[in-house]
Amino acid sequence: MEEVESEGMKRGEEDSLVERIAGLVGRAMAHPWSGAQVADALASPRACLMCQEDDAGALLGFVLGRRVDQDVVEIDLVAVDPARRREGVGRAVLEELIAVERDGGVVEFRLELASLNAAALALYTAVGFVVVGRRARYYPDGDDALLLTWTAEDAAGGAGESERGGD
């Protein structure tokens, strides 16, 4: 597992990381971020990123977020190589990011998710996220957006499978 700081990297390292993440996103997602979007996100001093590689250094999965407040992280992207799913990679990168950011003072993690993305919803609830809101027909395809949060209290209480209501 590798925590990647977006600041202080050498130019070549940053380019190669952007290419590897953009490549994985292109393979993993139906509506992937562009390389420019990935580059912008990684260039932010607020970015937080956790990656997992295989023994040969190939990128298996990552989670990318950003600090939206001193103690709050918003998660923007989680993706795992389609050939390596259900092996625990998504869970590992999410749990490691949460642990590292909690050590840095973060108390809450937030994200927004298409309600029909059953795999991602199952992953997030498995690591302790709770659905706290819903935006009806939020996406262009008519799907609802779910709003999820992770707090230490919810995770400790095993409240991950409940929906606490919507807006």
Ligand X SMILES: CC(C)(COP(=O)(O)OP(=O)(O)OC[C@H]1O[C@@H](n2cnc3c(N)ncnc32)[C@H](O)[C@@H]1OP(=O)(O)O)[C@@H](O)C(=O)NCCC(=O)NCCS
Catalytic residue among 3, 19, 108, 112: 112
Q: Provide φ and ψ at 103, rounded to 5°.
A: -60, -30
Q: Is 77 in the site for ligand X (CB under 6 A)?
A: yes
Instruction: Report if residue 96 touches ligand X, rule: CB under 6 A.
Output: no
- Which residue's Cβ lies closest to ligand X? 90
From CA 5, how far away is CA 3, in angstroms rounded? 7
Burial, 136: exposed, middle or buried (Cβ in 10 Å; 0-12, 13-18, 19+)? exposed
| Cα angle value 69/75/81 (rounded, 5°) | 155
By CB under 6 A, the residues from 122 to 141 that bind ligand X are 122-123, 126
Q: Which residues contact 25 (CB under 8 A, 6 or more apart)?
A: 32, 33, 38, 77, 79
Contact between 34 and ligand X by CB under 6 A: the answer reads: no
112 is catalytic: yes
Tell me which residue has tokens 């799907």: 143
Using rule CB under 6 A, residue 85 touches ligand X: yes
Residue of the chain from 29, 72, 100, 147 that contacts ligand X (CB under 6 A): 29
Q: Stretches 43-51, 101-109, 113-121, 137-145: which one binds ligand X (CB under 6 A)?
A: 113-121
Q: Is 163 a catalytic residue?
A: no
Q: Which is nearer to ligand X, 8 or 158 (CB)?
A: 158
Gap between the Cα atoms of 22 and 80, Å rounded: 12
Q: Output 122 or 136, the one with its CB closest to ligand X.
A: 122
Candidate residues 19, 87, 112, 163; the one interacting with ligand X per rule CB under 6 A: 87
